[in-house]
Amino acid sequence: QVQLVESGGGLVQPGGSLRLSCVASGSNFRFLNMGWYRQAPGNERELVAVVTSGGSTTYADSVKGRFTISRDNAKNTVYLQMNSLKVEDTAIYYCNTEILWRPYWGQGTQVTVSS
């Protein structure tokens, strides 16, 4: 079992940057694949980025070149650096992992991109 706690959301103007953090409880963080998802009002939750336990990364086409996912195993933390933010990036961002095919989610952090 793992608990995930996100932080770092907020209000930012188009073109701005934010860095989201997700801290995971437990001692097995380094073995977990970690992901960021987002859900905008009226839309389904969608995958944003994934970093595997080995450090490989995958991104949704809509964020490639603008977002960077990374992890610090010593701090049990996964980050999402978001640059060149667009209005359409507005959503609640969720941290995610799976243990034995069971998904775990954080409570989410709101990101609002608006002028």
pLDDT above 90: residue 26: no
Say what the pLDDT of residue 43 is. Answer: 95
List, for residues 54-105, the tens digit of each pLDDT value.
999 999 999 999 999 999 999 999 999 999 999 999 999 999 999 999 999 9
pLDDT above 80: residue 27: no
Say what the pLDDT of residue 64 is. Answer: 98
| Contact predicate 38/91, CB 8 Å | yes
Say what the pLDDT of residue 1 is. Answer: 86
List, for residues 31-67, the tens digit of each pLDDT value.
999 999 999 999 999 999 999 999 999 999 999 999 9
Residue 104's Cβ-count burial label (10 Å; 0-12, 13-18, 19+) is middle
Per DSSP, helices labelled H in 1-115 are none
